[in-house]
Amino acid sequence: MILAVLSLGALLVPVQASATEPAAGCAAVARPSVPGAKVLATSAAPKPGGTIEYPPEWGVPPITGVPPFCEIKVELTHPGAGDHVLVRLWLPLTGWNGRFQATGGGGYSMHQGDGPLALAVKDGYAAAQTDGGVGFDFEDPSKWALDSKGRVNRELLKNFAYRSLHDLAVAGKAVTREYYGKAPAYSYWNGCSTGGRQGMMNAQRYPNDYDGISAAAPAISMPSFVMADLWPQVVMNVEGVHPTSCELDAFQRAAIAQCDPADGLVDGIIREPAECRFDPGTLIGQQIECKGRTITITKGAADVVRKIWAGPKTRTGAQLWPGYDPSTSLAATAATPFKLAENWVKYFVKKDPAFDFSTVGYREFEQLFRQSKREYDRILGTDEANLTAFRNSGGKLVTWHGTEDSVIHYGGTLKYRHDVVRRMGGAANVDKFYRVFLAPGAEHCGPAAGAAPADQLKPVVDWVEKGKAPETIAAVTYTGASRDLCRYPLRSYYNGTGDPRQATSYTCRTAVR
């Protein structure tokens, strides 16, 4: 699923020397004015804080030490839309740092439950989220995607794409201002995946809503990359060969073994995965152990993996979307059908919940891919390259993306960055307000063999409030090794000496070809 669990890291220094406390404890606030919406009700309830649990199926440790807070809910609707939207705020009862933080979603959900709010409150923020009226399900949009006549619910899709984002900013900051008796000194967006796309949409459509935006692994170009996530299934179904997860893992391990040493350090990370030229045919005939049985890798399996890595193409050979890099795990989208992507086709492209994607061949896939872009790029593509208004507002935007992301290929982020550079006068100009950081070996919104940021918002805060533009972002692997992410297009190079688990043993410099 497109899911991100954000770690906000160490407590940030309050904006004010003394914390601002609410005027009247946890009392209800007046209904905020939200242009284009009708606010139905507000409510307030004190919460004790303590330990906040994630859903057990996520496998994420609970958040401890959350301070007491006031939860304020704002219910609203858009006249004529027939929707019901909930905006939730968690406001620290003591120790507010003077900042507002809006948190993003994952998959088909516009938020990620209590976790991001708890992390933000623990760091002293007034925190907020919205459900956009579309519920809380990352993989399945069946409850909102189609109306009673089987048509795409355009009003709720508009909420999901952009409208509820602005409502969240307006309502959230207004409630915060009334609750504490003063407006936030700074406002931030923090999200990954769908939350990353939401951050980019804020910069593109609502450039004055936030002073700083952290938009990680952004799900921009969603009508394209979600279709591309189904390419492995098309290849396997058409070719009649379905490699087991053990075989897919064997191809990935072999690719890493061959290409990892190219950067001068054998650490399970390929610094330039797009340059890995591993031939899957070299594994033909090799035997592997898989769940108590021996499997011999066939030519058919190798050919299927080669086509998956090549990515979706038209009948004339034109690339529709980047293919998987050989070092990227195929477990999420190839070993089993990717439910989020299947549901995209069922509900938004075919408008038929009973549609069987397993029957789709190469030609129909190309047609569906083009239809997906044609119908949804304008509302959900979130790839407008003109960020002039955001730049002029003084906003700062930071994106990081793992090169082993198996759900959203980092090539989409780089394409967008290059589009902005072309549109806005070159890299030096764009670097003044928008920077990208690749995370070699990191997965979707988190670490793997490669490192991911422990606190993805802090570089944005430092840039906005201290004028300190980030050259690197501190990151850690799942084993605790540290590595700085380098500002694109720079790359991280091992110095040849020192502990390879320490960030100080690496230098950012121009890539050597």
User: Are 154 and 50 within one domain?
Assistant: yes
Q: Is the pTM of this model over 0.85?
A: yes
Q: Which of 379, 409, 444 is the last residue of a domain?
A: 379
Q: Tell me, what's the pLDDT at 13?
A: 32
Q: Strand, coil or helix: what is 322?
A: coil
User: Are 363 and 462 within one domain?
Assistant: no
Helix (H) or strand (E) holding 390: helix 388-392
Q: What is the mean pLDDT of residues 246-250?
A: 96
Alpha helix locations (H) across 427-474?
427-430, 458-466
User: Are 104 and 241 within one domain?
Assistant: no
User: Are 18 and 142 within one domain?
Assistant: yes
Q: Tell me, what's the pLDDT at 16?
A: 33
Q: Which of 379, 414, 431 is the last residue of a domain?
A: 379
Q: Tell me, what's the pLDDT at 20?
A: 54
**Which residues sit opposite 146 in a β-bridge?**
152
Q: Say yes or no to pLDDT of 7 above 80.
A: no
Residues belonging to the active site = 193, 405, 444
pLDDT band at residue 60 under the 50/70/90 scheme: confident
User: Are 392 and 341 within one domain?
Assistant: no
Domain carrying residue 495 = 191-220+382-513
pLDDT band at residue 8 under the 50/70/90 scheme: very low
**Which residues sit opposite 119 in a β-bridge?**
none
| Cα–Cα dist 11/8, whole Å | 8
User: Are 156 and 202 within one domain?
Assistant: no
Task: State how many domains the chain has.
Answer: 3
| Cα–Cα dist 433/453, whole Å | 20
User: Are 96 and 16 within one domain?
Assistant: yes
Q: Say yes or no to pLDDT of 18 above 60.
A: no
DSSP 282: G
Q: Say yes or no to pLDDT of 216 above 90.
A: yes
pLDDT band at residue 10 under the 50/70/90 scheme: very low
Q: With beta carbons less than 8 A apart as the criterion, state whether 225 and 321 touch.
A: yes
pLDDT band at residue 232 under the 50/70/90 scheme: very high
Q: Tell me, what's the pLDDT at 129?
A: 98
Q: With beta carbons less than 8 A apart as the criterion, state whether 4 and 445 touch.
A: yes
pLDDT band at residue 11 under the 50/70/90 scheme: very low
CA angle 141, 145, 146 (to 5 degrees): 135
